[in-house]
Structure 1
């Protein structure tokens, strides 16, 4: 368990009671050996899965660089791992995000784009909202010429329950500025994503 997770914190003690209640609800014996430490493990896992509530992902975009020789073409970070949880069923959805922007005089560290994705993904989500939150954050903080966010995920609530369609993928996208209004910028974006896919 992480060092900042305190089992003796009153809120965690209360949380473990609720986990025990859920275990009893599904018919388990909470006293058996394999489950004795499960409430603490579940809370520690939730502490990690939902750490996005403890930060403002936009903060990762505040530090920028202007000494880039006037670079004003597409910046794309593709295949960013997405691990989130559906707010309707609290089960995972996982996949990849492709995040691009066209800078207007300043750029941000590449890892910061991945941190923005992670910050919003580590909350209860729907994929559509996640897509919009990432795009809006980049748009608002960096004021670029255009933003593109494309997310492709498999949702366990569709794959392993309900309609049971394990091979289904959901794709969402948000394009702004030049990516929306300029067909050549949009074509370049899709070609770059395709090139990265073909090199896998």
Structure 2
């Protein structure tokens, strides 16, 4: 069962800063708790869950959790705009769609801090320059490695690509399973949420949306 959610945020004027602008201009937070404070918080959660943080199996768990969090939430230490800074203008006149399909990612729901597992499809229409393909995947990874809602992540990816590369349009689709739905609450395993965001030509020209969706869904046209 697919729950389809479409999000079409208002596209800001070129010189204006939208609410999403801070999502890719932010730099790392500097007033974080110490590692010792973070480990103490994990110990408190272990006790609250009903276990003994001093037993052998859990003795090193606080340190392991803090180390894991550094990796899982490393997106807060990276600026996606920086990843898109280097572009290539020698494109031999190429101005058609560039599509990266099936970019796998894992994130965490900001409401329950439970994993979101899925894949992203990202396309843009170049406007005289292109960016290295790995940079698009890194942008997805940076936003994924933050506490997220799928709707926000979809819009953030589209916004930063539009603002930094200034292509003729951007299309983003994310398909993901939310473990906060399958592990707790309604407990519906296997349900998938789909979100899309379109800017520029993809938003204004329905045929470009159709072409994007066709290329995403049809492996022969990917």
Whether these two folds match at TM > 0.5 is yes
For structure 1, the residue ranges without an aligned partner over 5 or more in a row are 1-9
Matched, 1:168 2:191: yes
Aligned to 2:126: 103
Q: Report SS of the residue matched to 1:88.
A: coil
Aligned to 2:80: 57
**Contact preservation (8 Å) 2:114, 2:179:** yes
CA distance in 1, matches of 2:191, 2:57: 34
**Contact preservation (8 Å) 2:214, 2:221:** no
Aligned length: 191
Partner residue of 1:82 out of 96, 100, 105: 105
Q: Report SS of the residue matched to 2:92.
A: coil
Runs of 4+ aligned structure 1 residues displaced above 4 Å come to none
Q: Report SS of the residue matched to 1:69.
A: coil
Partner residue of 2:48 out of 17, 25, 46: 25
Cα shift at 1:29: 1.1
CA distance in 2, matches of 1:135, 1:33: 47
In the TM superposition, what whole-angstrom CA distance separates every residue of 1:50-102 from its partner, at most 9, and x where no partner exists? 00111111110010001110110000001001210000000001100000000
Superposed CA RMSD in Å reads 1.7
Aligned to 1:137: 160
Cα shift at 1:160: 0.8
In the TM superposition, what whole-angstrom CA distance separates every residue of 1:97-127 from its partner, at most 9, and x where no partner exists? 0000000000000000000001111000000
Partner residue of 2:200 out of 163, 177, 185: 177
Q: Report SS of the residue matched to 1:18.
A: helix
Instruction: State TM-score, norm by structure 2.
Output: 0.83
CA distance in 1, matches of 2:49, 2:177: 26
Q: Report SS of the residue matched to 2:218.
A: helix
Cα shift at 1:147: 0.2
Aligned to 2:59: 36
Matched, 1:122 2:158: no
Instruction: State TM-score, norm by structure 1.
Output: 0.92
CA distance in 2, matches of 1:199, 1:147: 18
Aligned to 2:71: 48
Cα shift at 1:184: 2.5
For structure 2, the residue ranges without an aligned partner over 5 or more in a row are 1-32
**Contact preservation (8 Å) 2:96, 2:125:** yes
